[in-house]
Structure 1
């Protein structure tokens, strides 16, 4: 790829820039870094560079105030397509915190969500590992180059994540982790996700930065409560006092996300790259047949769907969301209506 093609990929083409900033932005390109990036891209088939205008760029991340102009992705790039929930928390987790993170990550993964975190020691790592063990999709956002393993103890986890998910960074390959990178990393973690779950956060925890960013991005924030004596739960308690949803299990999260705004549903349609005209061509998911039969062509309440289908409410909310994404049902005031026959 030559310089002109590079400029086009990185959105530095002169016609796309205000005249006053053209020369400044072009001059800021470090072509040594560019050469290094192309070397990295050519090393393996699972190395990807996704620019802001790329169809694979995650739409939810695209909507934040300052989305990265490009993402380096290592692993299964299609892992970016599943609706995601972030799980973050203390690096010095307790055994209970580790179990909580693992259980939530595993259960949410089983319901079809990807799990996004920062691959840090502690809660991040516990969440990633649980998803990998469950053969689910997990996304690790780094505060360094995508080819730099940090912390080094997570080398095997770094490799395992790429089997079904991916490693993501906005930083150029070979860039080392420094303190100033992690707040930038955190905005990507929350920006990729429908909601952020905080586990075992002290009042000065970096996880609270992610939670604040999620709020600023108009995303849901969830917090797991704990002991009122132990200091490493105080940040979570403060979040709950300020409006975060208290979480005891995955059902609490799914219940909240089951009431997604129409805006977020549109973004999810885009994430799956399915046009409205293509919905009718999708095969009907047979495992959802009993639930679809519980939704009428007139307004049907969620309670009525639960009673008729005999399924637990957390599963009903997930399956209704899947049916809505595929165009089988629609949200209306008071519940759902069926749109077509299977």
Structure 2
């Protein structure tokens, strides 16, 4: 879906009310909506198309589009406009310049998105992290640690705000400058699941929450597999941490592959039911990963370099693991001895900056200096 037959909202501002009316009309989903937009232009033109609508949609839909909105729809539109007028909230349409470019290239982009929080994260270098709702303690630790380290490298962590792996991934993402994006399967005004309410509030303040569903839509089972295409669509790659042989995480991985995204999987015990999905993905061509560096190494050089530079630019002292720049050096070091020149090339740091970081790490007991001026991480 690279090109659309209507102009950017920057040049010809579309009426948000018309977009809402189009998307709230019963029977107009994203596919039908795009067909109408392709034929007539912006939503205001669709609503004024009159008898020409009959050639493209069922009579019931055409009649509904020709009539003024009923009282129930009017109330929905007014509620959405009021919600969007609240600071920190936005409704972004397919014709808006702020619509995430990554979603323009998936087969089924939503006509509009309800967004709460930092909209800029929708254009960030991003990794989707998904997995089981009933994760093991080890799986939760993996999701949180990988997400924290990648966020420290400036990578936004995208997930679905479900219990288990999703929640752990969001929590890890919030600890770094990359932050996190939650794609939900309900109206954006619905707290679901309730156990993640506090986490959702943090994401709204420090990250971003996205939904394609109108306000008030409850957690319907059919919505969650569908929202998975947006989780993978907003990211350059997907990491599956734990998954049963039949799970929603495998749906996300399949959608990612169909969208041309890389798929990574963390292996587990051959005796664990929650490792079977990851092993299945690896047999099908997903890339086995053991460290965050495995992921960065597989991504395009420019993607990884921008992530590293962002982490170094955003470094700040303190915290449990020190600043983000030292975390990047530790990730780039890997577990084999490495000389300073190689390390500088991996991190894209000048010699003086790297020497200072290596000294700090040595004094902190996190690395050791070997003969030949090579460095090795400890632990």
Shorter-chain TM-score category?
Answer: 0.7 to 0.9
Matched, 1:176 2:182: no
Query: What's the CA shift for 1:125?
Result: 0.1
2:242–2:274 contact (8 Å) kept in structure 1:
yes
Other-structure match for 1:13? 44
Q: CA RMSD in A?
A: 3.0
CA 1:37–1:285 in structure 2 vs 1: closer, same or farther (change >3 Å)? Answer: closer
What TM-score do you get using the length of structure 2 for normalisation? Answer: 0.66
The one of 344, 360, 363 aligned to 1:311: 344
Alignment gaps of 5+ in structure 1: 270-283, 289-305, 318-342
Query: What's the CA shift for 1:25?
Result: 5.9
Query: What's the CA shift for 1:249?
Result: 1.1
Structure 1: distance between partners of 2:100 and 2:310? 25
Other-structure match for 1:207? 249
2:264–2:288 contact (8 Å) kept in structure 1:
yes
Alignment of 1:258-337 (within 5 A): 258-259=300-301, 308=341, 310-311=343-344, 313=346, 315=347
The one of 18, 34, 40 aligned to 2:83: 40
Q: Secondary structure at the match of 1:200?
A: coil
The one of 238, 241, 251 aligned to 2:280: 238
Structure 2: distance between partners of 1:250 and 1:94? 20
Query: What's the CA shift for 1:26?
Result: 7.8
Q: Secondary structure at the match of 2:174?
A: helix
1:87–1:116 contact (8 Å) kept in structure 2:
yes
2:237–2:261 contact (8 Å) kept in structure 1:
yes
1:145–1:176 contact (8 Å) kept in structure 2:
yes
Other-structure match for 2:330? none
CA 1:287–1:127 in structure 2 vs 1: closer, same or farther (change >3 Å)? Answer: closer
Structure 1: distance between partners of 2:299 and 2:118? 25
Per-residue deviation, residues 14-57 of structure 1 (Å, max 9, x unmatched): 26977533884682574432222112223x21010000111111
Per-residue deviation, residues 102-140 of structure 1 (Å, max 9, x unmatched): 111011101111000000000000010112233542000
Q: Which has the larger radius of gyration?
A: 2
The one of 111, 127, 134 aligned to 2:176: 134
2:154–2:177 contact (8 Å) kept in structure 1:
no
Structure 2: distance between partners of 1:33 and 1:286? 42
Structure 2: distance between partners of 1:204 and 1:286? 36
Structure 2: distance between partners of 1:102 and 1:285? 20
2:106–2:259 contact (8 Å) kept in structure 1:
yes
Structure 2: distance between partners of 1:211 and 1:69? 23
Per-residue deviation, residues 146-193 of structure 1 (Å, max 9, x unmatched): 111110011110111122211100001111011000011101100000
Matched, 1:189 2:231: yes
Q: Secondary structure at the match of 1:74?
A: strand
1:93–1:123 contact (8 Å) kept in structure 2:
yes
Query: What's the CA shift for 1:82?
Result: 1.2
CA 1:236–1:49 in structure 2 vs 1: closer, same or farther (change >3 Å)? Answer: same
Structure 1: distance between partners of 2:19 and 2:272? 53
Query: What's the CA shift for 1:226?
Result: 0.3
Alignment of 1:87-102 (within 5 A): 87-102=129-144
The one of 289, 292, 300 aligned to 1:250: 292
Q: Secondary structure at the match of 1:55?
A: coil
Structure 1: distance between partners of 2:266 and 2:89? 36
Structure 1: distance between partners of 2:340 and 2:63? 61
Structure 1: distance between partners of 2:93 and 2:15? 15
CA 1:75–1:199 in structure 2 vs 1: closer, same or farther (change >3 Å)? Answer: same
Structure 2: distance between partners of 1:171 and 1:26? 23
Q: Secondary structure at the match of 2:43?
A: coil
Alignment gaps of 5+ in structure 2: 1-13, 23-41, 314-338, 350-379
